[in-house]
Amino acid sequence: MTVTFEPITEALAPERIDALITAALAEDIGAGDVTTDAVIPMDMTCRGKVVCKEDGVVAGLSIAKRVFQLVEERMQFDAKTTDGEKVQADQIVARLYGPARGMLKAERVALNFLQHLSGIATTTSRIVKAVDGTRTRILDTRKTTPGLRALEKYATRMGGALNHRMGLYDAVLIKDTHLALVGGIGPALRAARKAHPEVEINVEVSNLQELELALADKAPRILLDNFSCGQVREAMQIIRGRAIVEISGGVTAANARAYALAGADFISVGALTHSAKALDFSMKVTRY
């Protein structure tokens, strides 16, 4: 289940992002930027620089570039770093040159994408670093902003994580809600195997009793949901290599290493996308 379902740059293709960017620009500019149009001469040009105001990992530079170009096709955008690279406070990540009105109109939307995606990449990088040296790999989840999943999962990859399933359509994951409605692990596993005999099946368990049932039914991959580190160690002694193990629930940069050392193959972290703090960027301009 843990694979890259599309080329890493697919999420950035213009045919994938232009509609999203256009909607964001319409939301911000509406009928027109009344301030810029009033005070900035139509023929004025300027230089700009995008500055990262804190340490982090950058993601979304090509999205920012596309925003400026959709507002003003004459805009020149020169990235000074690349997605996935670490940046420091006060580092210039891009320089721009072009019509001043276009630069000012595109600024906020471009920076909104950049700060959001870079925040996700930075948060991800910290948790990935926490498990460095162990065999455990960090996964993202479906806990994403509606409409932004492809971009947000791109950002987690820039931070060093692997993508979990992209949606409900590309992997079987039997969760507690399924189990509550079909009478338990056995019936759910049999139904899933009958419907999708060629697909790896993942089963979520919430206690050791459910774990034993999943192992008895030869579940190839088991998700330990909201287990403590001690419970994970106990579970690993029961599993003894009979299934791939994933941990989910309550994992942070502070406790990720302890969970990794308990022996899990994967840790999935919803906070990579649903709670990442934006990385702070600003744009400075000078008349040219």
Q: Which residue in 47, 175, 193, 233 is the catalytic one?
A: 175
In the numeric block, the tokens 């925040």 are attached to: 119
Residue 171 has phi, psi (to 5 degrees) of: -165, 155
Label residue 53 exposed, middle or buried (CB < 10 Å: 0-12, 13-18, 19+).
Answer: middle
Measured in residues, the chain has a length of 288
Is residue 128 within 8 Å of residue 93, measured between CB atoms? no
Which residue of the set 152, 204, 210, 246 is catalytic? 204
Burial of 266 (0-12, 13-18, 19+ CB in 10 A): buried
Catalytic residue, candidates 49, 108, 193, 233 = 108
Backbone angles phi, psi at 244, to 5 degrees: -75, 140
Catalytic residue flag (residue 225): yes
Q: Is 221 helix (H, G, I), strand (E, B) or coil?
A: strand
Tokens of 195: 């419907």
Q: What is the dihedral of CA 139, 184, 192, 194, to 10 degrees?
A: 160
- Measure the CA–CA gap between 20 and 161, rounded to whole angstroms: 24
Beta bridge partners of 205: 224
Say which of 140, 225, 246, 257 is annotated catalytic.
225
Catalytic residue among 49, 53, 95, 143: 143
85 included as an active-site residue: no
Active site includes 198?
Answer: no
Per the annotation, the verdict on 129 as an active-site residue is no
Residue positions annotated with a catalytic role:
108, 143, 175, 204, 225
